[in-house]
Structure 1
């Protein structure tokens, strides 16, 4: 039968009303209350009287409610449902569609009703969805608590986003009636000229609206994260202070002059930072916050302040603490460790393991272990608020299946992507022990079968630490597949060499329900690597987190009771193992770190780190040049660049056709992003035409002018080109390939090729033509610096690391350097 896209019926009438279905949880005690309650519910609705109060919510628990009214589905008690139904019933405007009357077009007395073309209806639907996007985001992310915090501390930023949302909502209200009349006219006349020329349905308007939504999404999410951070600060006893744009700071302020302007009272202790420094130095921030809290504990007169420079024109290059005479200098370089100050050092312990092996939950048990000195105090004192990392729990029953998050809200934990780690990025959690000692447990993303870059990213983070005291490999005692562990341990061993075994620990999880005897342990260890068989038996541990999971879920569901025997056994096992673990770490005679000379800056980590710098370096330079050109043409706006993280194993293909798009006066060629492992899953182009990437680029026209004059950015660009040439020269010298390629120069050539491609299509675009000329000059400068690098004598790997740090710490570049490497 031949299919047709023509409409066969039209909606003649719509009936509105209220419909709902309540599911009650029936047990032995509640059976006798069900019928009287339902009878009372129905009669009270009919007579418009109050619902009887003799049936409590505990006697008849509500399981779920389904309704055509979204508001009703949020209610959790019979009384709440009844009150809402009465309120909605009296307000016809709150009724939702119940039924529709369809009329066949063929039997209609008139032929006035023509079907709307599918592409037009989809455009209209997409348009209205985008108009409501901001309102939905606000409802989802911005709670009453978040609103309270933002209105108090960030009113300017919050009101700006609210105005954008209100503007979109206003357009929705205005255009709904206008487009409705237009559709009715089209259906009567079948004349599409008017709707085809309707501006808001044009591709240009829709694209601009999409860009507004993306920008709105970015800012609302950022505000939500900032609100959570401010809330955490206040809970830790800090007063949050935002440095306004108009605050009189000079860019060349010394620490002494800053202190003079900021410190007003004797007992003030001030931490200065901004969002970028916090994001890129999370471990350091956490350590400093703990340090401030410890000062407050020792002297209650102290007042803690967090001063935020995010919104100031003053560029803060590092976190600062005031008054200066109250703090020891923050040492950015590793220092020699003497026996006398060993106890004051932070114990850095790295947790590694496959996805869902229990790393994060194990850290939660450690936090619980420190807070519960006696076993009998656990159930009494334990609270969901004690969790330092949230976890996800699947609720399954005959009616539904859903995953809930329990614990503190944390954007670093995400369960949306199946088959990937909940933990998104490396993050450290600091704890204070007795004798003024501090331990930092570093949680990491779990490695999976096809995520080969996970270990590279982890080692890149490790490379920035001053030292590592121990590495803990976390293994689920039920694990059967050890391919991921084999590959990851091989990378670890190549990185740290033989010294790794002295500081290596293996922690088995979920051990209560499994018979994990010594034979089974050795079998698992041998499956990972024969090298591990020489590991000290004292470095093997068995944990079980089930007691904490059960207690937390019971509290979340509002159920309280005494722990059962298995829960007590689980807790006892875990606490005993933590005691032994800390003792082993402290008494370990080989605790002189896995230090820099043992591999923290070896070539195997520096080479991929340098390669990951190439793309962001040159793309940021190219965008700086774009804004320099806009400035020279006296245009009062700029172009922003953002690096959006991609899933692992993505690449851009140089052979496939790439789309170009106009952003402001520039035409920009965008990457062709493909899924790529050993071969491309998107195209059939050769593998050597695919360049691995960890993010894709987005560009946004901004109504703000470029804040740097061309003479200011020239020096940073020249420095960056010079350092790039030297790093590239080192890569070429140390390459084991017979004919290595200069990857930096290749990327420069590719950018020049992009602009040449644009000029072939748009030969009269003076902006792209100017950019093309500047990139040619940039390439010539690079070649000159590369020639000078040929005579450079590399002293050691510290020389390489210093050049990498010099690139990352450049003040102009660092504010745009947001790629997640």
Structure 2
């Protein structure tokens, strides 16, 4: 369609003489622009038939004659995937050719459904011959400069895009393997160069406009593209390509670990096919029920007898035990102190200040030396007689992944991180920085931060004390402070009361005293009927971090008057004295470990159950596979691989499939998530975090006498799952959905879609039937819980946790979970610093 403005005789042909324009739009072409990308099935005979239908569709669209038959529509359904790119938003969401043809037919004759495709331009003189703009100059850039600029930018773009595409394609193979550091470095370099390239193109776009307007000489392009910054960009990009080529070489070499080689062999021997999966979480609301003690004893005792009689388990030893994880035992041997406080109280600043107070006897001495800044700092400071505000930064704030300075009111610290100090008596002190509470994102974010802190504690060998950091002049306590204290008490028990420390930051305003906050804390303890906690001089310490901020400001060349310097000098001396008093108190008064791993709590049980959800679901699915192929004396062994970085699985992306014992099995493809997925464009809701990768291999000559044992394990897992689900839903009310029921439903959906793709595969179809029976049996078991809900107490849940962990296939996966957690904790540990 063409909307012709040129022939509009009534158009206003006057032009504002002040208008800075060289051309005017005189016509707009409207229409539909689209590209359909098809993934065809592998069968040649079907491809030939689809080609004939596509030719027919082309004829229909160009002549408006004929239409496709019902038989042809059914054949089009054999197309694996259809992706549509179009200037019409409603078309891009279509996933079948039949729907596309229907929409195109509906658009015929409807001008409003079409969008602009091209714009016709004419010089402003055409509209008004008298118009001669002196403001709108159009200078032509010489062809050699245009060609040079285009080649320069295209070469850079292609190199960066090549590196980006290669890393995306191979990241799942390497990111969680032995050369992860090289991959991480290459990804960081590529991301940095991409940002620099975007800045360059933005600069060049603005510059070209200015040149065309006569504001710059065209030769300035040569000057910019040949300056030191652009030479560095070119050099770094070429080095990135060399690094990628080296990684590609390693991909084909024998330098990769044994587990990586095992994957390679499987990839060579097995056919890999892809199928598009979209898993929508099925939401089910089940009636409140319970599992009784009699069922627990019956199933677990039968399982014990069967295990002892056979003397074997389903799976062989996992490679997990063979992995030598180079973790230091720094935290295990240190005095561990957890720092807790609301957002903005200054926990990270306290750690920075603390090490400097212990390292330098005076502020003058600290200025003569380079201050210790182990956590990047960024803060707003008012300076000068006019009270000007200036942002003060020290160390590389922009590249610090654990500190977010861009969202005021939100916790700056993103993860728990441990900072180790070598004390003069030979012992180590570990201060554990935590995300702040009272986050402006709301109570849900606070709950996530607190859960993160408690999970971190769960993985420590011991904890010597908890230090609450507070502001001395608070008019009321943050509402989440009370909840935080209650959850710590629930998680740690009464041991918590023995080793509490209270540190007050920014206490110069209250003359280095706790100020109005002390009575608020005592009132809270009294309301909780807690009389054994003492808040006294011995365990209370008053600091002023402003002296450290002054030190950082001086590194930024900010000047202060003599009076201010005198105030900060006094602050430094008092804070230094308090720091040494705190060290002495920690060394002499906190020898006990308040972390009791035998302590049972709702929160601890919740963490244990959440870690078991995936192992239980995958173990049940694999047991059903093994029961199905038992007649062949075969078994599929499930084993786990630890990962070295936080990883997620996306249930919306197209997965890879392995063919093992004639079962199509989905291969774990880890995704990295940092605010958004680095490997796909799917939403966060479609991603689930994982702690290990699942792998499979075929075992031949497997005994047929194991069927009873496998069925018994299946019963244990099913009944344990219903007990866990009831506990989560109705006892502690941590969720509104049953994660086990949803998980079984998702597995049925996955296997059903595999069956639709590979219709001749009877084993996956049989697995769908067995999973459906498992789902129905699970529903019945859940309904039986209601009769004996009084047995579903905390002790009962811990018995199930213990029994399920004794199943070897579960135990092997849990080993990988623990190893992964240790590795991730190690990554947030700073090497010891002498003080």
Relative to the length of structure 1, the TM-score reads 0.48
* Greater relative CO (CA pairs within 8 A, separation 6+): 2
Relative to the length of structure 2, the TM-score reads 0.47
Q: Which has the larger radius of gyration?
A: 2
